[in-house]
């Protein structure tokens, strides 16, 4: 194996290791902090959280990301083996070993890619980087393997015998196995994600609520929620036991993600406990045109979108317009919003009523300022502030917890 080949393989291994480490850290934070929002949660379809907390994110309760770290460490260890002197034969065998590992790895990432792109309909950016790394290792190592793969088992036996005569080699293998076992043993178990995948064809984000938290996970999130301070939110709850207030911006990607993710949860409680859970959406556009609290805001169609939904509500078409706005965030302009308001929301007098309805939006913005809203989405669940939203299973568990406390 030439130095150039070794460096190319090492580059792909390093890419995969960094991406897997980032994925593992995110997965760990998701399991330990119910309010954590990943940096790679960009929209309802570009979301690491949806992938990691799905049944495809873990194997027997062990995060796939952690298994990926161990796999890339093993590959990196092979590539770091000496290449000269008496180790020349071992160096010749390394591409074959990497190719064999990559063949297994490629089968795994193809399955995970199917789960993400087809079953969940989401894109996990860190996951995509690991797919690229595994594919690169597979292609390069396959092209550089100079011996028949049928001879690989005998070559492996010979190399293992040679390693057994070297204390350093045995110690390295032992350290790796001990570290791998410890990482798997002490990583928080994601038993919820290891449940069977949903196959009902639900919308993106809808599968997560169907995954029941284990009792220890539920107890942990309940203790966390009960320990949070509660603000007085002057919103009419209509006698509901659980009042959820969301400060929303139609150009905010996390707002769209939580909109899609929470919709089936709220529908479930509307069916199971009518009138007991009330969801109230408040406008807080990150647009200096109507929100002076955000002078650096860059969502320059957000004020128009907020007005458009209010006008569409008069025609009972608000939900359809909200679906369209969140699905077309990258293309939103004031003109596009006006056109959608007319074609989807049935609004024919947008310009004439814009200034008047915008004052209603400003009233929501003033309430947000009173409650020190700093970003969107910001939720208040029975007064508990949650910035960015919760993972779907935790959101579901907190609603159930608050209903139980209220005796409903």
The pLDDT tens digits for 154-168 are: 988 888 888 788 888
Nearest one of 8, 40, 61, 83 to 257, comparing CA atoms: 40
Same fold yes or no, 3-186 and 212-405: no
Q: Are 334 and 307 in contact (CB under 8 A)?
A: no
Domain ranges of the chain: 3-186, 212-405
CATH class of the domain whose range is 3-186? mainly alpha
At 42, list the tokens. Answer: 């960009």
User: What's the pLDDT band for 324 if we cut at 50, 70, 90?
Assistant: very high
Tens-digit pLDDT profile for residues 42-64? 766 788 877 887 778 888 778 99
State the SS3 of 188-232. CCCCCCCCCCCCCCCCCCCCHHHCCCCHHHHHHHHHHHHCCCECC
The per-residue pLDDT for 50 is 74
Q: Which of 133 and 297 is assigned the larger pLDDT?
A: 133
Q: Own/partner pairs for 266-273, CB < 8 Å, 24+ apart?
A: 268/209, 268/396, 269/242, 269/399, 269/403, 273/403, 273/408
**CATH for 212-405 (1.10.730.10, 3.40.30.10, 3.40.50.300, 3.20.20.100):** 3.40.30.10
- Burial of 119 (C-beta count, 10 Å sphere; 0-12/13-18/19+): middle
Nearest one of 167, 215, 211 to 395, comparing CA atoms: 211
| Distance from chain centroid for Cα 80 | 33
The answer for residues whose C-beta is within 8 angstroms of residue 239's C-beta and 6 or more apart is 275
CA distance 82 to 91: 7
User: What's the pLDDT band for 207 if we cut at 50, 70, 90?
Assistant: very low
The per-residue pLDDT for 206 is 38
E strand or H helix at 248: strand 242-248
Q: Which of 114 and 186 is assigned the larger pLDDT?
A: 114
Query: Distances from the Cα of 150 to the Cαs of 45, 79, 89, 141, 389, in angstroms?
Result: 43, 21, 17, 16, 53
The per-residue pLDDT for 199 is 33
The per-residue pLDDT for 192 is 45
The per-residue pLDDT for 84 is 54
- Burial of 270 (C-beta count, 10 Å sphere; 0-12/13-18/19+): middle
User: What's the pLDDT band for 190 if we cut at 50, 70, 90?
Assistant: low
The per-residue pLDDT for 103 is 96
One-character DSSP codes across 337-392: HHHHHHHTT--S-HHHHHHHHHHHHHHHHHHHHHTT--SSSEEEETTEEEES---H
> What pairing do the DSSP bridges indicate for beta strands 378-381 and 242-248?
antiparallel
- Does the pLDDT at position 319 exceed 90? yes
The answer for residues whose C-beta is within 8 angstroms of residue 147's C-beta and 6 or more apart is 92, 93, 96, 155
Q: What average pLDDT score do residues 131-158 get?
A: 92
The per-residue pLDDT for 34 is 66
The DSSP output letter for 123 is: B
The per-residue pLDDT for 202 is 35
């Amino acid at each position: 194996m030439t130095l150039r080949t070794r460096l190319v393989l090492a580059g792909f291994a390093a890419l995969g290791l960094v991406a897997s480490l980032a994925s593992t850290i995110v997965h760990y934070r998701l399991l330990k902090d119910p309010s954590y929002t990943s940096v790679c949660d960009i929209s309802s379809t570009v979301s690491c959280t949806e992938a990691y907390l799905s049944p495809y994110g873990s194997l027997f309760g062990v995060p796939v990301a952690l298994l990926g770290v161990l796999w890339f460490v093993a590959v990196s260890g092979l590539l770091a083996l000496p290449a000269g002197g008496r180790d020349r034969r071992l160096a010749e065998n390394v591409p074959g070993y990497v190719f064999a590992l990559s063949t297994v790895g490629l089968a795994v990432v193809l399955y995970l890619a199917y789960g993400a792109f087809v079953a969940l309909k989401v894109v996990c950016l860190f996951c995509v980087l690991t797919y690229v790394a595994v594919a690169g290792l597979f292609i390069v190592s396959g092209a550089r393997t100079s011996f028949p793969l049928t001879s690989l088992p005998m070559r492996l036996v010979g190399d293992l015998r040679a390693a057994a005569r070297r204390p350093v080699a045995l110690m390295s293998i032992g350290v790796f196995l001990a570290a791998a076992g410890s990482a798997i043993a002490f990583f928080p178990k994601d038993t919820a994600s290891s449940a069977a995948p949903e196959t009902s064809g639900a919308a993106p984000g809808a599968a997560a609520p169907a995954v029941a938290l284990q009792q220890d996970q539920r107890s942990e999130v309940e203790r966390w929620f009960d320990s949070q301070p509660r603000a007085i939110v002057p919103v009419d709850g209509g006698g509901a036991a659980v009042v959820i207030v969301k400060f929303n911006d139609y150009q905010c990607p996390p707002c769209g993600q939580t909109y899609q993710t929470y919709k089936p949860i709220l529908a479930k409680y509307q069916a199971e406990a009518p009138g007991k859970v009330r969801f109230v959406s408040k406008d807080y556009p990150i647009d200096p045109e109507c929100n002076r609290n955000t002078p650096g805001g860059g969502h320059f169609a957000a004020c128009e979108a907020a007005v458009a939904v209010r006008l569409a509500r008069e025609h009972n078409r608000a939900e359809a317009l909200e679906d369209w706005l969140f699905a077309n965030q990258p293309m939103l302009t004031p003109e596009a919003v006006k056109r959608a308001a007319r074609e989807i929301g049935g609004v024919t007098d947008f310009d004439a009523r814009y200034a008047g309805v915008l004052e209603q939006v400003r009233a929501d913005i003033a309430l947000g300022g009173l409650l020190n809203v700093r970003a969107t989405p910001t939720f208040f669940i029975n007064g508990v502030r949650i910035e960015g939203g919760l993972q779907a299973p935790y959101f579901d568990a907190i609603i159930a917890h608050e209903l139980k406390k209220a005796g409903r």
